[in-house]
Structure 1
């Protein structure tokens, strides 16, 4: 059995009506519901812009990807802009091969 890195969500208000969620650890079958529940509560507040920092995610499975899609769909339902502001090269590749780079707003690639 392998060791899992605990999933964490850090919330930062970076500007009026803008919230940054810094995700770290493993976003998988066990932790994806935690992200969905957390963001559902957050989106019912005064957030107009939601930024996600995914650079601390060490592992993500299909449930984690589905949770990100659910967050995106929820932001659309609440007229909130969501963008991904940081991610690892692995996650960028994963979002490309799943064509989610056409759905999510991703940061410019560093040269």
Structure 2
């Protein structure tokens, strides 16, 4: 899985490409630590997600709520969307229609 990030002091946008599975979840968690600002995960490049990937999304969502920052997903492909629908997570996890937001140009990177 490839992970690319852009951020400012208020928002971290993370674009994922590949499979979000048990093998990749530790890399994702490491890439997002410390979670200290709003998090947007662009899943437009994610072709597969397993239960470990779902658990990671739930954990990140809970962590964001605990520290009082925003959390949202975007770019969900049909296969991943189906898994979110089957599990009921599309009703829980905030999903943004359209493209991922862009951190402000005046923020820190």
Does the alignment reach a TM-score above 0.5?
yes
Matched, 1:33 2:26: yes
Which string of whole-angstrom CA distances, capped at 9 and with x for unpartnered residues, describes residues 45-84 of structure 1?
Answer: xx2x211100101221111111111111111111111011
Instruction: Find runs of 4+ consecutive structure 1 residues off by over 6 angstroms.
Output: none
Matched, 1:78 2:42: no
Q: Which has the higher contact order (CA 8 A, sep 6+)?
A: 2
What residue is the counterpart of 2:6 in the other structure?
12
- Which residue of structure 1 lines up, in the alignment, with residue 51 of structure 2? 62
Q: Say what the alpha-carbon RMSD is for the aligned residues.
A: 1.7
Q: Which residue of 1 aligns with 2:89?
A: 100
- Tell me if structure 2 keeps the 8 A contact 1:36–1:70: no
Q: Under a length normalisation based on structure 2, what TM-score does the superposition of the two structures give?
A: 0.80
Which runs of 5 or more residues in structure 1 are unaligned?
Answer: 1-6
Normalization by structure 1: what TM-score? 0.78
